[in-house]
Amino acid sequence: MTDVAADRRLGKRPARDITAWDRLKVNRNWLGAWYMVPAAAFLLLFLAYPLLLGVWLSFTDTRIGQAGEFVGLENYEWLWEDSVFWMSVFNTLLYTGVASIIKFAVGLYLALLLNRHMPFKAIIRAVVLIPFIVPTVLSAIAFWWLYDSQFSIISWTLRQLGLIAANINFLGDVWNARWSTIFANIWRGVPFVAITLLAGLQTISPSLYEAATIDGARSWQMFRHVTFPLLTPIIAVVMTFSVLFTFTDFQLIWVLTRGGPVNATHLMATLSYQRAILGGYLGEGAAIATAMIPFLLAAIMISWFGLQRRKWQQGGSDG
Amino acid sequence: MASVEVRKVHKRFGSVEVIHGIDATIEDGSFVVLLGPSGCGKSTLLRMIAGLEEITQGDISIGGRVVNNVPPKDRDIAMVFQNYALYPHMKVFDNMAFSLKLAKVDQATIQEKVKRAAGILNLGEYLDRYPRQLSGGQRQRVAMGRAIVRDPQVFLFDEPLSNLDAKLRVQMRTEIKALHQRLTSTSIYVTHDQIEAMTMADKIVVMRDGHIEQSGAPLQVYDKPNNLFVAGFIGSPAMNLLAGTLKSKSGARRVETDDGVALPLPANAPGSEGQRVVYGVRPDHLSMGNGAGGLDIEVSVIEPTGAETLVVGRLGMAEVQAAFRDRFAFKPGQRVPMTPLLDKIHLFDAGSGQRLT
């Protein structure tokens, strides 16, 4: 039985219907949504808005200092006919393809090496990271000197050894410039691949190798049947990032060659910058940048399927 | 089938010597348990037999052949690891078939051998699963299956049950023992669990700090521990060990503890008058009642396990445990008379820790 007087003494208010607002106030999902607002606002403002603005610009004839009008696909039609654009696409694919494959091979090799017991392991691991921690522009400038047509230490050394008669024109010749920039990119990108794969290698239980040793596996078989399959999830992540970073590379090329000689090293990113910012044709530059999106999406899709949890990773626990 | 011979084996990691010249013989077809606390070198010894660790000094031979420089795969051994070490990306079948595939055995033989091993271990319906999809006990069986498939002369087990829960451990213990009786291959089993050792072994090798403290049949080690370490390590609950001095009083010999408690001894007890000794009596060798040489024990805790009643009490300053098949309802603080069974008394020299015979 309800004692009304007791209720009053205890300060209870008379009951009223619970409104939707009352429910909302104690709803954890509602609260959670509010917690996400700052992050969502940040992403919208600094990622989604510029991206959409860029795509929109690519459909206009905007120039610096002159608001443009919607021109439909005109920029893209223009690019379709533009041999420089197509060369930048070719360069980007070559640059990304060659550099990524070599970065993967060298990075994996280094990771396997660093995963062994050897003297001064910690120091060597730190040394391997150096190319990664030096700011890109600094290392690009260092490469610029290495590749200099007059003062290149590489040319000098080869000349002293009597292997060449004249300096190598590293950045002045079309293919020399392509290989030189690719080499610089590899030098810079290997540590990331190596250290990440090393982290992956260290998650593989040593007892698996012992079991494989007793099962009679040689070192190649151990790599083929134990290390590589167990490393594939990490490889997928690392190579996705590596490909994305390489594809969108800008600093290295800009410092070394600015896209030259005769556009031979222009990547889509550098060409876009040149047309949009230096040339002032924002619409056209935006169209080049937008044209990168399908390639990047393709790379992400490939890794998405590669990254999906493999069957052996599913179900059960480690317990 | 093969015996394993360990002769004067030393193992050093850098400047630290972890095994100090061990000699042991593991007879053909026997089940030998290397038992000791963690860090005693038992796993290192096993890994040296497997070929996973180099032998610093001495010889290990399997089936009469010195294997110091023989690679693991050619030693004709198989090993079951504590964490099972199953290849997570291979199905059960492939895990078990891996060594055969590497040895380029033909498909039909692989099928037959894996199926046979799976049959022995009741794994038939799991061959198509990945290790993650199995329970702990099933993974344990796959690990054993991988060993069986190799048809080795010697099975090596490195604490294979310590990742399982208590109930499963008891069950797998029986299974491993039954498996050994069926396959009759020489088995070397490392554990720190003395119950596992007692129940499974034909022979126990008790190790401590890189030395062998005692080896022998389980009951022999239990009944006649060579020294204080073995006495305290084997048996659960552990043997009561009470320090005191050998004295004779009116013709009867006894041990007097430092707080003046007189512990009874049989007439033929070894040792000389005035010798410092440790008096050992197992909890189940104390009987209730005030016989000759009865002890006055003050109960502090009663632990009924159902089958037995464990009484923890004080004798003078020392803590004493006694186990009884009967159920008693003592209260803490109650004084209870107990009498040691005189023919079950162990005496150890207090200085050397060695058994007095």
Joined together, the tokens standing for residue A96 give 């990304």
User: Are B72 and A214 a contacting pair at CB < 8 A?
Assistant: yes
Query: How many CB atoms neighbour CB A305 within 10 A?
Result: 8
- Residue range A14-39: average pLDDT? 85
- Residue range A219-225: average pLDDT? 92
Cα-Cα-Cα-Cα dihedral sign, residues B278, B284, B288, B289: negative
User: Are B72 and A317 a contacting pair at CB < 8 A?
Assistant: no
Of B321, B320, B294, B318, the residue nearest B309 (C-alpha): B321
In a 3-state reduction of DSSP, which class is residue B279? strand
Looking at the predicted structure, is the pLDDT value of residue A316 above 50? Answer: no
In a 3-state reduction of DSSP, which class is residue A142? helix
Average pLDDT for chain A:
87
Strands B31-35 and B203-208: parallel
Looking at the predicted structure, is the pLDDT value of residue A317 above 60? Answer: no
Q: What percent of chain A has pLDDT over 70?
A: 91
User: Are B130 and A315 a contacting pair at CB < 8 A?
Assistant: yes
User: Are A316 and B133 a contacting pair at CB < 8 A?
Assistant: yes
State the helix-helix crossing angle for A206-215 and B92-102, rounded to 10 degrees: 50
Say if residue B117 is exposed, middle or buried (CB neighbours under 10 Å; 0-12, 13-18, 19+). Answer: buried
**What is the distance between the alpha carbons of residues A268 and B96, in angstroms, rounded to a whole number?**
52
**What is the distance between the alpha carbons of residues B228 and B230, in angstroms, rounded to a whole number?**
6
- Residue A85 is predicted with a pLDDT of 92
- Residue range A120-126: average pLDDT? 85
In a 3-state reduction of DSSP, which class is residue A66? strand
- Residue B10 is predicted with a pLDDT of 94
Q: Which residues of A105-130 are buried (b: 16+ CB within 10 A; e: fewer)?
A: ebbbebbbebbeeeeeeeeeeeebee
Cα-based distances in Å from B216 to A150, B35, B120, B203, B345: 83, 12, 30, 5, 20
Q: Are A246 and A100 in contact (CB under 8 A)?
A: yes
Strands B31-35 and B186-191: parallel
User: Are B87 and A211 a contacting pair at CB < 8 A?
Assistant: yes
Distance from CA of A312 to the nearest CA of B (A): 5
User: Are A215 and B88 a contacting pair at CB < 8 A?
Assistant: no
- Closest B-chain CA to A318: B132
Joined together, the tokens standing for residue B226 give 């060579």
Of A316, A257, A105, the residue nearest A190 (C-alpha): A105
- Show residues of chain A in contact with B134, CB under 8 Å: 316
User: Are B81 and A319 a contacting pair at CB < 8 A?
Assistant: no
User: Quick one: pLDDT band at residue A11, thresholds 50, 70, 90?
Assistant: low
Identify the weakest region by mean pLDDT among A195-204, A306-315, B89-98.
A306-315
- Residue range A9-30: average pLDDT? 76
Looking at the predicted structure, is the pLDDT value of residue A29 above 90? Answer: no
Fold of A77-310: MetI-like fold (1.10.3720)
Max Cα separation, chain A? 109
- Closest B-chain CA to A226: B87
Query: How many CB atoms neighbour CB B191 within 10 A?
Result: 25
Distance from CA of B297 to the nearest CA of A (A): 44
Residue to test with chain B: of A214, A235, A310, most B Cβ within 10 A: A214
**What is the distance between the alpha carbons of residues A74 and A273, in angstroms, rounded to a whole number?**
19
CA dihedral of A306, A307, A309, A310, whole degrees rounded to 10: 30
- Residue B94 is predicted with a pLDDT of 94
**What is the distance between the alpha carbons of residues A309 and A318, in angstroms, rounded to a whole number?**
16
User: Quick one: pLDDT band at residue A10, thresholds 50, 70, 90?
Assistant: low
User: Are A213 and B134 a contacting pair at CB < 8 A?
Assistant: no
- Residue A309 is predicted with a pLDDT of 61
Q: Which residues of B331-356 are buried (b: 16+ CB within 10 A; e: fewer)?
A: eeeeebebbbebeebbbbbeeebebb
**What is the distance between the alpha carbons of residues B164 and B170, in angstroms, rounded to a whole number?**
9
**What is the distance between the alpha carbons of residues A270 and A264, in angstroms, rounded to a whole number?**
12
- Residue A319 is predicted with a pLDDT of 36
Cis peptide before B225 (omega within 30 of 0): no
What's B321's DSSP letter?
E
Residue to test with chain A: of B49, B99, B105, most A Cβ within 10 A: B99
Give first-to-last CA distance, chain A, whole Å. 53
**What is the distance between the alpha carbons of residues B92 and B98, in angstroms, rounded to a whole number?**
10
- Show residues of chain B in contact with A222, CB under 8 Å: none
- Please list, in sequence order, all residues whose beta carbon lies within 8 angstroms of the beta carbon of residue B152, skipping any fewer than 6 positions away: B76, B77, B78, B185
Along the 357 residues of chain B, how does pLDDT read in single tens digits?
A: 689 999 999 999 989 999 999 999 999 999 999 999 988 999 999 999 999 999 999 999 999 899 999 999 899 999 999 999 999 999 999 999 999 999 999 999 999 999 999 988 888 899 999 999 898 889 989 999 999 998 899 999 999 998 888 888 898 899 899 989 988 889 999 999 989 999 999 999 999 999 999 999 999 999 999 999 999 999 888 999 999 999 887 778 889 898 888 888 888 888 888 899 999 999 999 988 877 678 889 999 999 988 899 999 999 889 999 999 988 888 899 999 999 998 899 999 999 999 987
Give domain limits for chain A: 3-56, 77-310
- Residue A71 is predicted with a pLDDT of 87
Residues within 8 A of B (CB atoms), A 194-233 only: 205, 207-208, 210-217, 221, 225-226, 229-230
User: Quick one: pLDDT band at residue A170, thresholds 50, 70, 90?
Assistant: confident
Distance from CA of B147 to the nearest CA of A (A): 9
ipTM surpasses cut 0.95: no
Joined together, the tokens standing for residue A305 give 């399927």
Distance from CA of A112 to the nearest CA of B (A): 19
Which residues of B make CB contacts under 8 Å with A? Answer: 50-52, 71-73, 77-79, 81-83, 85-90, 98-99, 102-103, 130-134, 136, 146, 150
Secondary structure element (H or E) that encloses residue B12, with its range: strand B4-13
- Residue A137 is predicted with a pLDDT of 87
Query: How many CB atoms neighbour CB B213 within 10 A?
Result: 22
**What is the distance between the alpha carbons of residues B342 and B354, in angstroms, rounded to a whole number?**
20
Residue B174 half-sphere exposure toward CB, CA atoms < 13 A: 5
- Residue range A173-178: average pLDDT? 89
User: Quick one: pLDDT band at residue A169, thresholds 50, 70, 90?
Assistant: confident
- Show residues of chain B in contact with A229, CB under 8 Å: 89
Across the A/B interface, how many CB contacts are shorter than 8 Å?
76
Nearest to B73 among A216, A310, A316 (CB): A216
Instruction: Specify the pTM.
Output: 0.80
Cα-based distances in Å from B217 to B31, B197, B198, B200: 10, 10, 9, 11
Residues within 8 A of B (CB atoms), A 227-286 only: 229-230
- Please list, in sequence order, all residues whose beta carbon lies within 8 angstroms of the beta carbon of residue A307, skipping any fewer than 6 positions away: A233, A236, A237, A240
Distance from CA of A59 to the nearest CA of B (A): 49
User: Are A314 and B90 a contacting pair at CB < 8 A?
Assistant: no
- Residue range A67-84: average pLDDT? 88
- Closest A-chain CA to B85: A208
Strands B186-191 and B154-158: parallel
- Closest B-chain CA to A216: B73
- Residue A9 is predicted with a pLDDT of 58
Nearest to B98 among A215, A229, A316 (CB): A215
**What is the distance between the alpha carbons of residues B24 and B4, in angstroms, rounded to a whole number?**
8
Tens digits of per-residue pLDDT, A275-289? 999 988 998 999 999
- Please list, in sequence order, all residues whose beta carbon lies within 8 angstroms of the beta carbon of residue A70, skipping any fewer than 6 positions away: A59, A60
Helices (H), chain A: 4-9, 20-25, 28-43, 49-57, 74-80, 83-114, 121-133, 136-146, 153-160, 174-202, 206-215, 219-222, 228-247, 251-256, 268-273, 282-307
**What is the distance between the alpha carbons of residues B155 and A14, in angstroms, rounded to a whole number?**
78
Query: Which position has the token pair 């990331």?
Result: A192
- Give CA B194 to chain center in angstroms: 4
- Residue range A174-200: average pLDDT? 92
- Residue A318 is predicted with a pLDDT of 42
Helices (H), B184-325: 194-200, 218-223, 228-233
- Contact status of A319 with chain B (Cβ, < 8 Å): yes
User: Are A210 and B81 a contacting pair at CB < 8 A?
Assistant: yes
Cα-Cα-Cα-Cα dihedral sign, residues A106, A112, A115, A120: negative
**What is the distance between the alpha carbons of residues B6 and A306, in angstroms, rounded to a whole number?**
50
User: Are B146 and A211 a contacting pair at CB < 8 A?
Assistant: yes
Q: Are B51 and B38 in contact (CB under 8 A)?
A: no
